């Protein structure tokens, strides 16, 4: 069928979307989310169909194109295109197989991952894939197959140096911004650290959000390699480079209903680490009520799986099971966390000691794993590098290479509006909920408002007097500040004894 193009001036991201009037849909026997092949001269594209019931939106004889389709076909309003029915990608059959409890091999996983990257699968079809992996858990072979498929469909960073180290935290603990402290410590010891990090999805800040307070974090792979060549390390946003690109699209589907299938979690982490050619990897699994992993049994299971799969990828891995029962550090939110990081690196008296202790322990383990410190002496060496100022000097090198914005913690601006949560009686802190603290920090505007968030004056076990502040909320908007305060009252994040 020949139809005239209508530019509807909407961008969808993925996949390609076209809209036709219901009368034309009936003629072609098309239904919502069917695929059509659209040809304009020598160019063609396959798009998902949406159907307009109103002639006002898309009249008969016209086909509405989203921006991505216009770009793909180099088309504009008024062009004539040929539209015909297209078959579903064959990878949909593999998804059905998994839904029925079948096992997928590497070729089947690869076809699914390639179609995700090429925007051939709809969000509904990717959701079924995620659901299938959740209901019928991936076994070891399938997880390895998915990991390798993710690696082989993206770019890979290669280095002549050895070792190449990386670290990853499973997440779920507010604050816990150890990466920007660990990276300069181990880089100062001569270890290559190509660190890519994520932005926040459900937390008040991801490592990339926090680093963005201090420097630029979005770089193409070529620039990323240049930064590493100069400084031995980088701290960049993973979304700006094409490493295991299917992962980000899968995560977006998982987020709305908080699905996190175990096999996909493992594949997601390890694919990105292998994509930067990591030879040595430290995994942090925090365990505690309100953290992502709440039971020791599940943490131990994940630890064993990481160890098994890493062997197949030729990555030496060490897994730490840590205390995730309360936030780590004092600041929660990009600017407040960035301030904590620089306090620690500068050995400032205002530094949060729990964040310092954990970062030094992690850096020590990587130094031992990488052969830069003898067994049992890694922590001592990490502490020497931190105390000597070498770690801060290395951080300044990295920041400069990444177009530094701020290098002094006292130059970091936090939001001007504040609310103090005070103690109702003389007591001590019994518990602090990671999930509820994170909810309140996001209510205040973090991470979009870089200066918003929460500063913890007290931690579990600390004494507090009646009327003394337990935490301070920062926000740049009075409405959001009130909302954060109401959130803390409705969902008490801090419990007193």
The string of DSSP letters for 81-115 reads EEEEEEPPPTHHHHHHHHHTT----HHHHHHHHHH
- Please tell me whether residue 494 adopts helix, strand or coil conformation: strand
Using CA atoms, how far apart are residues 83 and 177, in angstroms rounded to an integer? 52
Using CA atoms, how far apart are residues 95 and 101, in angstroms rounded to an integer? 10
Torsion of CA 40, 44, 50, 52, to 10 degrees: 0
Using CA atoms, how far apart are residues 263 and 386, in angstroms rounded to an integer? 37
Torsional class of 123: left (φ above 0), alpha (ψ -120 to 50), beta (otherwise): alpha
- Please tell me whether residue 179 adopts helix, strand or coil conformation: helix
Contact 152, 110 (CB under 8 A): yes
Torsional class of 105: left (φ above 0), alpha (ψ -120 to 50), beta (otherwise): beta
Q: Which of 284, 201, 209 is nearest to 249 (CA)?
A: 201
The string of DSSP letters for 321-336 reads EEE-SS-BSSEESHHH
Residue given tokens 């890979």 in the structure block: 156
107: annotated active-site residue = no
From the candidates 33, 216, 260, 323, give the one annotated as an active-site residue: 260
Strands ordered across the beta sheet of 469-475: 331-332, 453-456, 469-475, 417-422
Tell me the C-alpha to C-alpha distance, in Å, between residue 484 and each of 30, 66, 488.
Answer: 47, 38, 6
Using CA atoms, how far apart are residues 466 and 456, in angstroms rounded to an integer? 16
Residues annotated as part of the active site: 260
């Amino acid at each position: 069928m020949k139809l005239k193009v209508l530019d509807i001036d909407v961008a969808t991201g993925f996949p390609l979307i076209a809209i036709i009037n219901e009368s034309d849909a009936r003629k072609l026997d098309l239904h919502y989310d069917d695929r059509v092949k659209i040809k304009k001269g020598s160019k063609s594209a396959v798009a998902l169909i949406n159907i307009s019931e109103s002639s006002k939106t898309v009249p008969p004889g016209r086909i509405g194109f989203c921006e991505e389709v216009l770009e793909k076909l180099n088309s504009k309003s008024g062009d004539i295109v040929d539209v015909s029915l297209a078959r579903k990608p064959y990878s949909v059959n593999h998804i059905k197989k998994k839904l029925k409890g079948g096992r997928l091999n590497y070729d089947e996983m690869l076809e699914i991952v390639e179609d995700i990257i090429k925007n051939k699968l709809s969000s509904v079809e990717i959701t079924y894939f995620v659901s299938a992996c959740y209901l019928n858990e991936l076994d070891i072979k399938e997880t390895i197959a998915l990991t390798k498929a993710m690696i082989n469909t993206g770019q890979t960073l290669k280095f002549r140096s050895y070792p190449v180290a990386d670290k990853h935290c499973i997440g779920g603990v507010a604050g816990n911004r150890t990466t920007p402290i660990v990276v300069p410590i181990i880089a100062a010891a001569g270890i290559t650290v190509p660190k890519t990090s994520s932005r926040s999805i459900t937390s008040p800040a991801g490592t990339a959000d926090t680093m963005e307070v201090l420097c630029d974090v979005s770089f193409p792979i070529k620039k990323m390699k240049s930064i590493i060549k100069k400084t031995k390390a980088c701290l960049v946003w993973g979304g700006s480079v094409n490493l295991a690109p299917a992962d980000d699209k899968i995560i977006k589907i998982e987020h709305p209903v908080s699905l996190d299938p175990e096999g996909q979690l493992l594949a997601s982490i390890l694919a990105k680490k292998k994509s930067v050619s990591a030879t040595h990897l430290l995994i942090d699994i925090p365990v505690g009520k309100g953290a992502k992993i709440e039971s020791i049994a599940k943490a131990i299971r994940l630890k064993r799986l990481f160890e098994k799969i890493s062997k197949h990828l030729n990555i030496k891995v060490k897994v730490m099971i840590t205390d995730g029962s309360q936030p780590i550090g004092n600041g929660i939110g990009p600017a407040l966390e960035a301030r904590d990081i620089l306090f620690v690196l500068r050995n400032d008296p205002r530094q949060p000691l729990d964040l310092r202790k954990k970062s030094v322990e992690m850096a020590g383990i990587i130094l031992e794993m990488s052969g830069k410190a003898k067994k049992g002496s890694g922590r001592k060496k990490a502490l020497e590098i931190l105390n000597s100022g070498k770690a801060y000097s290395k951080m300044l090198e990295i920041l400069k290479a990444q177009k530094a914005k701020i290098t002094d913690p006292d130059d970091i601006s936090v939001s001007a509006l504040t609310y103090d949560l005070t103690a109702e009686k003389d007591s001590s802190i019994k518990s602090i909920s990671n999930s509820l603290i994170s909810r309140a920090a996001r209510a205040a505007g973090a991470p979009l408002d870089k200066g918003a968030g929460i500063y913890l004056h007290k931690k579990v076990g600390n004494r507090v007097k009646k009327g003394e502040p337990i935490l301070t909320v920062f926000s740049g908007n009075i409405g959001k500040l009130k909302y954060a305060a109401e959130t803390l009252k409705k969902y008490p994040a801090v419990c007193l004894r």
